[in-house]
Amino acid sequence: MKGVLLVNLGSPDSPEPKDVKPYLDQFLMDKYVIDVPFLLRALLVRGIILRKRPEESAHAYKKIWWEEGSPLIVLSQRMHKKVQQKTEMPVSLAMRYGKPSIETGLQELADKGVTEVLLFPLYPQYAMASTLTILVLAEEIRKKKFPQMTFTDVPAFYNKPDYIKVLANSIKRSLEGFNYDHLLFSYHGIPERHIRKTDVTKSHCKINDTCCVTQSAAHKFCYRHQCYETTRLVVEALGLPEDKYSLTFQSRLSGDKWLEPYTDIEVNKMPANGIKNLAVVTPAFVSDCLETLEEIAMRAKEDFQENGGKEFLAIPCLNDSDEWVAVVANWINEWASAEIPVA
């Protein structure tokens, strides 16, 4: 029997430092996130980052936490429930870090007799720190605990026409009645090194003005190219002029060189460059989370206004909107009936 495992990033159990610390430990000790040898990673994460960050992150989580729990988890659960209503197959929800784990999700499916699993990372753009780490961990668990199962992976959907249509429609609806000067596409950042590591050609990704817009086999796994493409396609769908939008990368951790330009730095400069009313969309996330609700809707807004900006609109993610749920359910049902991968 066929079934589906939707997988998102995950959140701590609560916004208290005692729960944020183990969550950050699991997250940052992932070799696909902080991709240095184990001893160096342990020194960096456990010796340096985890000394102060759990307190700071807990403070940020407290600002966005809902009565029902973490927004990312609650919104993923709502979306999961609606998707389940639109398909006959069992659909489970899991998180890469925290709960419910991927193992729990696979066990749920196994208990219902599922042997063919559609593994669905809930990330529009491919990155080793998001998509790949899910696929690798799921495969490890499958081999150890569920050898009878087979997996089909849902590839990054950054350019799929139905996804672009839903995203463009949702932006359009949010912008109604908002007299904006500029629309900023802010994507979660990653270290530049990750782009080079996932370059299958080992020579294409120069991280310059041309590589991501020059045809290459590298693009199947190039996060930067995929962010550019999502933006280009949405801009085309909305008919936005060149001077009305830009693309930046947010949420960097100190240390490495991360993808540029940086959201916070660009947002701070905008009011001086005549942008008084700003809308921000965050298409690397399908569910609102700490990075959209605190970093963008609170901190970026505050910084923008302190630097002379006026109106600031944080556009919600697709979350559990009916249009988005219909697209996800449709991809799942196509896979169920077609006998071929959805790629």
Ligand X SMILES: C=CC1=C(C)c2cc3[nH]c(cc4nc(cc5[nH]c(cc1n2)c(C)c5CCC(=O)O)C(CCC(=O)O)=C4C)c(C)c3C=C
The answer to whether 149 contacts Fe ion (rule: CB under 5 A) is no
Decide: 207 and 258 in contact? Cβ < 8 Å.
no
The type of residue at 302 is E
User: Measured on CA atoms in the order 14, 36, 38, 120, is the torsion positive or negative?
Assistant: positive
Q: Which is nearer to ligand X, 142 or 188 (CB)?
A: 188
Q: Is 103 annotated as a binding residue?
A: no
Q: Which stretch binds Fe ion (CB under 5 A): 136-144, 208-216, 260-268, 318-326?
A: 208-216
Look up residue 276 and give its two tokens.
């008084």
Give the span between the Cα atoms of 202 and 218, in whole angstroms. Answer: 8
Peptide bond between residue 15 and the one before it cis (omega within 30 degrees of 0)? no
Task: Verify binding: residue 57, ligand X, rule CB under 6 A.
Answer: yes
Q: Which stretch binds Fe ion (CB under 5 A): 13-21, 76-84, 224-232, 261-269?
A: 224-232
From 143, 37, 137, select the one nearest 97 (Cα to Cα).
137
Q: Tell me if 205 contacts Fe ion by CB under 5 A.
A: yes
CB of 205 vs Fe ion, minimal distance in Å: 4
Q: How far is the CB of 169 from Fe ion (least distance, A)?
A: 26
Between 92 and 248, name the residue whose CB sits nearer to Fe ion: 248
Partner interacting with residue 190 (select from Fe ion, ligand X, none; CB below 5-8 Å by kind): ligand X
Give yes or no for a contact between 65 and 86, defined as CB atoms under 8 angstroms apart: no
Sorted by sequence, the CB contacts under 8 Å of residue 124 that are 6+ apart come out as 156, 157, 158, 163, 226, 230, 283, 284, 286
Please, what is the minimum distance in Å from the beta carbon of residue 258 to ligand X? 8
User: Residue 28 CB, nearest distance to ligand X (Å)?
Assistant: 6
Residues between 181 and 200 that touch ligand X (CB under 6 A): 188, 190-191
6 forms part of the interface with ligand X (CB under 6 A): no
212 binds Fe ion (CB under 5 A): yes
CB neighbours (10 Å) of residue 174? 17
Tokens of 281: 């969309």
DSSP class per residue in 115-152: -EEEEEE--SS--IIIIIHHHHHHHHHHHHH-TT-EEE
**Of residues 123-162, those binding ligand X (CB under 6 A):** 123, 127, 129-130
**In this complex, which beta carbon is closest to ligand X, that of residue 79 or of residue 289?**
289
Contact between 24 and Fe ion by CB under 5 A: the answer reads: no
Residue 53 interacts with ligand X (CB under 6 A): yes or no:
yes
Please name the amino acid found at residue 291.
E
3-class SS of residue 156: coil
Q: Which of 6, 72, 91, 317 binds ligand X (CB under 6 A)?
A: 72
Q: Quote the CA–CA distance of 111 and 256 in Å, as a whole number.
A: 43
Site for ligand X in 196-235 (CB under 6 A): none
Q: How far apart are CA 2 and CA 292, in angstroms?
A: 34
H or E segment and range at residue 92: strand 91-95
With binding defined as CB under 5 A, does residue 278 bind Fe ion? no
The interface mask with ligand X, positions 245-264, x = CB under 6 A, is ------x-x-----------
Q: Is 291 annotated as a binding residue?
A: yes
Find out whether 117 and 106 touch, Cβ atoms under 8 Å: yes
For ligand X, the closer CB: 110 or 127: 127
The residues that touch ligand X, with contacts defined as CB under 6 A, are 9, 11, 24, 27, 33, 53, 57, 70, 72, 123, 127, 129-130, 188, 190-191, 251, 253, 284-285, 289-291
Annotated binding site for Fe(2+): 188, 291
The residues that touch Fe ion, with contacts defined as CB under 5 A, are 205, 211-212, 222, 225
